[in-house]
Structure 1
Amino acid sequence: MQVFAAPSFEELVRVSARIGCLSFGGPAGQIALMHREIVEERGWVSEEQFLQALNFCHFLPGPEAQQLATWIGWKLHGVRGGLAMGLLFVIPGALVILGLSMLYALAADLRWFAALFVGIKATVLAIVVQALLRIAGRALKTPLHKALAAGAFLALAAFALPFPLVVLGAGLIGFAVAATRPDLLGLKNDSTPPPTTPRPWTLTLRAIGIGAVLWAAPMIAVLALLGTDHALWKVGLFFSKLAVVTFGGAYAVLSYMAQQAVDTYGWLRPGEMADGLGLAETTPGPLIMVTQFVGYLAGFRAPEPFSPVVGGLLAAGLTTWVTFVPCFIWIFAFAPWIERLSHAQKLKGGLAAITAAVVGVIANLTLWFAIHVLFRQTSDVAFGPVSLSLPVPQSLDWRVALIATTAAVLIFAMRKGILPVLGICAAAGLVLGWI
């Protein structure tokens, strides 16, 4: 495939804005859009470069499509190109979901609005099942992969272990296995010699230093002005920690995010995380933008000394900042190392194990959504170290079950896209809400 001359910065900005406004459909659709626009139609990077960068971005915490966009901009125009393309990938969706979050907070208690989201929640359940099957088919290639996925599922669903601990444990197992039996993780020995160019330590350390200061700056301001008891501090701290363990995309951390937001902090009511994901599915940009929805509701419901809307806007802005600044840090710090990292067998083993464990994490999310979306009540049952949250059968919501079944038929049997299915099921929710 022919590779043409690098575009001007102005042309890069125009194409980046177009991609940012059209990037619906989750990471698969977003990556396909970038491939068509950047590789096939314009030839700004080669097929080999695109795939190598995509593999690199899969290894990083955070949304891989947004990081791939940042890498493309960095490759073509350095740091300013990475900032332009990365920001334009995020900003259109961020503005849309911010507006939808404001509407949600103001109208959540209205009957018609609640009925609308009955359909959206049911559709989200089918979407998450689809994501689970798709990711499992891609990630679970060996028996060890399947064992890691099953172990992660049991650790979260039965033993309630913290999500970061499960991710770290899987990474350590993969690191150790890759040192002795890489074949168990489906890894092949790379016989190509590593690059002989000087290691880019200066670029990496500069990017980490500047990025860390920018990442921490709003948190320092919140600490100085409002203290550690304010909702803004808790929101910023929680999503800062989440940003460094978000392997596997939004689906991997949704159940952990929901558990903390509902049970620990009280920012959301049960079932509202499904509403947030439904909103994120209808907007361009990465699905992890659902964090902005959580942040807005947290600030809206505990705004003092601000008004609810101002509190929500500040919390949404802070959430978006601490979620996405690390994505730029990873690219600017480690993109110069891409060729060298492709030879790091132990690192690839650790990340392959994390990818497998993420399947178990998403399976736990699927179970969590099914219980909280289909049933109005749950009961906690404990057997020693095992703790289960079981649905109360009599509390089954027949409307949600019917719409979820319809969504599954539309997605799996009729191969309909996510946006049409969301529209059909939202309308069904409105109709059934008045019966």
Structure 2
Amino acid sequence: MDSDRQIDTVSSVQTGPCYRLTELVLYALTLGTVGFGGPVALVGYMHRDLVERRKWITEAEYKEGLTLAQLMPGPLAAQLAIYLGYVHYGVLGSTLVGVAFVLPSFLMVLAIGWAYLEYGGIQWMQAVFYGVGASVIGIITISAYKLTRKTLGGDWLLWAIYLLSAATTIVTENENVLLFLSAGLVIWFVRSPPWPRNHPSSTACLLLPIADLTAPSKPWLDEPLLQIAWFFTKAGAFVFGSGLAIVPFLYGGVVHEYGWLNDQEFLDAVAVAMITPGPVVITVGFIGFLAMGREAGPWMGLAGASVAALATFLPCYLFTILPAPYFKKHGKRPGIVAFVDGVTAAAIGAIAGACVVLGRRTILDSAGAPDWPKVALLLITMAILMRFKKLPEPFVVLAAAIAGLLLYPFARG
């Protein structure tokens, strides 16, 4: 009898977590501080460190988290980190790990935002972003190309949605969330027709929490911080795919709808996300800081950055921890998979359209003539990324910044 109890005790110890929550939080903090390379690289680091080397997470648990992160809207790497925190330590673990992963890059963009407002008018910073802006367009273009090849395959309906979304973005210079939802519903109806049943479909349940976000602008949204909270909540709730999927959505609202940033400042914001570690979506902190700090000073800039970041990451946090207990049972339902495929095709099309819109505004001067140094930087960036597929993007951005310092005096005469 005693031996049986001993075996049970050993077994229960072995099936429990072999690490402390503080260790996982410290790992997330470290990865958020030094993890360059974008979402694909970050999820690869987590697999290498947590599954292969430390064996804190099993292969099955990792795959479940990655699938859920791909299925739900939100930044891929942040959602995977949140899920891995949830695996053994529940909501507390997911919360602490998520905050630790995002916090380092958030503090970095705050510092850069302050420096940008204080010294953005001096020539060396203008020169840096002169080169970086053109390079960022090249990076986004290559990312859109890779995502297109990887995602669409030979499905003609996905291609039709992709082209429609790209054309709509180019013509309107904005991103239409209703087009995203419609694309998901079209693929859902075609692949897995939701004929009337006695119970609601999983896809319908997925849409309910975010349905109200497509409503028209609310009359009470007059305060700037409330506008920031509302807009970035929508951004966090509708960003499917890689971190760059948020770029066209942000561009339409930040530049056109609210006018918080101009075209060049928006490209600078994307560039800041490229040169800092952690999730690319952290650019929202930089945008929030500029939107509030330009007129009201750095303390309101801090408030704007905090509200923007919280509003963006809260939906992806909820979309991770709420379905986590039920994901094994329902996550592979055909309706949900089809809906996500449709939304993803529309999102990638919007990224492709945003490349055209932003590229046109970046490489053409006020008279509509090409800015040839920027054209050269754009093409060189694309050629380098196509030739050296594993080259970290921050190195490319750094090289573009140096090129901008050299070329800017000649370009501006």
Structure 1 length as normaliser, TM-score?
Answer: 0.81
Equivalent runs, 1:246-395 vs 2, <5 Å:
246-303=239-296, 308-377=297-366, 393-394=368-369
Q: Does 1:125 align with 2:137?
A: yes
Amino acid at match of 1:27: P
> What is the Cα deviation at residue 366 of structure 1?
0.9
CA contact (8 A) 2:246 2:281 kept: no
In structure 2, relative to structure 1, the CA distance for the partners of 1:101 and 1:28 (3 Å cut) is: same
Alignment match, 2:213? none
Query: In structure 1, which of residues 148, 167, 180 is the aligned counterpart of residue 180 of structure 2?
Result: 167
Gaps of 5+ in 1: 182-203, 210-222, 378-391
> What is the Cα deviation at residue 81 of structure 1?
1.1
* In structure 2, C-alpha distance between the alignment counterparts of 1:167 and 1:89, rounded to whole Å: 29
Alignment match, 1:157? 170
Amino acid at match of 1:367: V
Amino acid at match of 1:324: F
Alignment match, 1:402? 376
CA contact (8 A) 1:4 1:44 kept: no
CA contact (8 A) 1:4 1:42 kept: no
Secondary structure at the residue paired with 2:301? helix
Two-structure CA RMSD over aligned residues (Å): 2.3
* In structure 2, C-alpha distance between the alignment counterparts of 1:38 and 1:277, rounded to whole Å: 29
Amino acid at match of 1:434: P
> What is the Cα deviation at residue 158 of structure 1?
2.9
Amino acid at match of 1:300: G
Q: Does 1:238 align with 2:231?
A: yes
In structure 2, relative to structure 1, the CA distance for the partners of 1:424 and 1:245 (3 Å cut) is: same
> What is the Cα deviation at residue 405 of structure 1?
2.3
CA contact (8 A) 2:68 2:320 kept: no
Higher mean C-alpha deviation, range 31-40 or range 349-358:
349-358
Q: Deviations over 1:320-370 (max 9, x none)?
A: 111112222112211011112234211111111111122211101111121
Number of residue pairs aligned between Structure 1 and Structure 2: 374
In structure 2, relative to structure 1, the CA distance for the partners of 1:4 and 1:38 (3 Å cut) is: farther
Give the 4+ runs in structure 1 shifted more than 6 A. none
> What is the Cα deviation at residue 251 of structure 1?
2.2
Alignment match, 1:189? none
Alignment match, 2:197? none
Q: Does 1:25 align with 2:37?
A: yes
CA contact (8 A) 2:289 2:304 kept: yes
Q: Does 1:45 align with 2:57?
A: yes
Query: In structure 2, which of residues 54, 76, 80 is the aligned counterpart of residue 68 of structure 1?
Result: 80
> What is the Cα deviation at residue 53 of structure 1?
1.8
> What is the Cα deviation at residue 159 of structure 1?
5.2
Q: Does 1:59 align with 2:71?
A: yes
Secondary structure at the residue paired with 1:49? helix
Q: Deviations over 1:157-189 (max 9, x none)?
A: 2356752111111111122012259xxxxxxxx
Amino acid at match of 2:150: R
Alignment match, 2:111? 99
Gaps of 5+ in 2: 1-13, 195-204, 210-217
Secondary structure at the residue paired with 1:32? helix
Secondary structure at the residue paired with 2:263? coil
> What is the Cα deviation at residue 31 of structure 1?
0.4
Q: Does 1:431 align with 2:406?
A: yes
CA contact (8 A) 1:61 1:246 kept: yes
Higher mean C-alpha deviation, range 329-338 or range 340-349:
340-349
> What is the Cα deviation at residue 301 of structure 1?
2.5
* In structure 1, C-alpha distance between the alignment counterparts of 2:173 and 2:138, rounded to whole Å: 24
> What is the Cα deviation at residue 427 of structure 1?
0.7
* In structure 2, C-alpha distance between the alignment counterparts of 1:32 and 1:258, rounded to whole Å: 29
Higher mean C-alpha deviation, range 405-414 or range 35-44:
405-414
CA contact (8 A) 1:3 1:45 kept: no
Amino acid at match of 2:338: G
* In structure 2, C-alpha distance between the alignment counterparts of 1:105 and 1:124, rounded to whole Å: 21
> What is the Cα deviation at residue 413 of structure 1?
2.2
Query: In structure 1, which of residues 158, 178, 181 is the aligned counterpart of residue 191 of structure 2?
Result: 178
CA contact (8 A) 2:235 2:249 kept: no
Amino acid at match of 1:424: A
* In structure 2, C-alpha distance between the alignment counterparts of 1:229 and 1:349, rounded to whole Å: 38
Q: Deviations over 1:94-122 (max 9, x none)?
A: 11111111111222211111111011111
Alignment match, 1:229? 222
Q: Which has the higher helix share?
A: 2
Q: Deviations over 1:223-267 (max 9, x none)?
A: 9xxx84332121112112222111224422322322322222221
CA contact (8 A) 1:140 1:146 kept: yes
